[in-house]
Chain A
Amino acid sequence: MGRQSTAKQQTARRHAKATTGPQGIPDSSKSAASNLDRLIHERLRLGIISALAANESLTFSDLKNTMNTTDGNLSVHARKLEDAGYIAVTKYFEGRLPKTEYKLTAAGRRALENYLSHMETLIQQMRT
């Protein structure tokens, strides 16, 4: 009998978990969180997208200074965003110096807008 009631409690707990999510997080918030664009959720990539959203274009060294990161780290994350079509890269020479310029694409701007609305949804749902 005792074992049966424990099983019932477990089932009830599982059900509760299904509607409210772990630690009482509402399901809607959970789905908002799971719908997040993982590609730009990473801090440095989110920073790159944000910086480019506020500027028409930025060079590699502008971005490096803004993000206060290393060449290698910036290259890796910028490449991921480029592969996803979120940013466009132009390489050119200024005198003898090679320059790399980054611009946010329409897809990248949409991704940032979606990300912002997800964040706002999360905040709103936690407040209600």
Chain B
Amino acid sequence: MRPMDAIRLVSKPEPDQPPALHERAMDNLRYIRETMERSTAFTGVPGWGEVAIGGTALVATVVAATQSTFAGWLAVWIAEGLISLLIVGWSMDRKARAVNMPLMSGPGRKAIFSLSPPLIAGAVLTMVLIRARFTSAIPGAWLLLYGTGVVTGGMFSVPAVPLMGLCFMFLGAAALFAPPAFSDWFMGAGFGGLHLIFGIIIARKYGG
């Protein structure tokens, strides 16, 4: 081997360097996208949407409390759940559009994936509790599981969101141990009161 060959071997990185420049450009683009997604978590949760959900939940609490059968009570809350999903979907989309960020980009996707498993678990558990004739545990289970979803989904958002989830979990745990007569109060305080309070905080602090 000639001495020059040895030098060439040592200074081999030549062909590696153009891809490095290309990789840096890719890395910069990735960084820009991630920063945009991370920053919109600050404003992605629709505060006014939560206020609206809180309002409809308070109405649902009153209507459900006047139902004479469990089936009627359940139907009112299922309807409220569907209305809430529509409100949150519409308000999240509206807020995302305001900052030119597609709903299913980072924050929206993370929130949906984090919130879905506890909601599905809640639906399954509801059926099990109905079959076991232990319907008095349903409000507590709903509040607890919804709170779990909000805490996990809220990890990507403003501190007020996971805090709201913790409050839901606390209310859910309390409802499970409280006499069944207080169920409607817990439902109203959670789905109505907590959504109203935290919705106003988020809307005022994080731009809508």
- List chain A positions with a Cβ less than 8 A from chain B: 22-25, 29, 33, 43, 46-47, 50-58, 62-63, 65-67, 112, 116, 119-120, 122-123, 126-127
Contact = CB atoms under 8 A, between A and B. Distances in A.
Contact of B21 (A25, A53, A120): A25
Interface residues of B, number: 28
A126 B32 contact: no
Contact of A51 (B26, B29, B35): B35
Given A122-B22, A126-B18, A126-B22, A54 B31 contact: no
29 contacts: A22-B17, A23-B13, A23-B17, A24-B17, A25-B17, A25-B21, A29-B18, A29-B21, A33-B21, A43-B31, A47-B31, A47-B35, A50-B35, A53-B36, A54-B40, A54-B100, A55-B40, A55-B43, A55-B99, A56-B98, A56-B99, A62-B39, A63-B39, A66-B35, A116-B32, A119-B29, A123-B26, A123-B29, A126-B21
Contact of B25 (A51, A57, A122): A122
B15 interface: yes
The 3 closest A-B pairs by CB, nearest first: A126-B22, A51-B39, A54-B36
Interface of B: 13-15, 17-19, 21-22, 25-26, 28-29, 31-33, 35-40, 42-43, 98-101, 207
B18 A25 contact: yes
Contacts of B40: 54-55
A54 B37 CA distance: 8
Nearest to A48: B35
Contacts of A57: 207
Nearest to A23: B17
A46 B22 contact: no
A128 B21 CA distance: 14
Contact of A50 (B15, B17, B19, B36): B36
Given A25-B17, A126-B18, 6 more contacts: A23-B17, A47-B31, A50-B35, A51-B39, A58-B39, A126-B19
B18 A23 contact: yes
Given A24-B18, A25-B18, A33-B21, A46 B28 contact: yes
Contact of A23 (B14, B33, B38, B101): B14
Nearest to A119: B25
Contacts of A56: 98-99, 207
A56 B18 CA distance: 37
Nearest to B17: A23
Contacts of A25: 17-18, 21
A24 B15 contact: yes
B32 A50 contact: yes
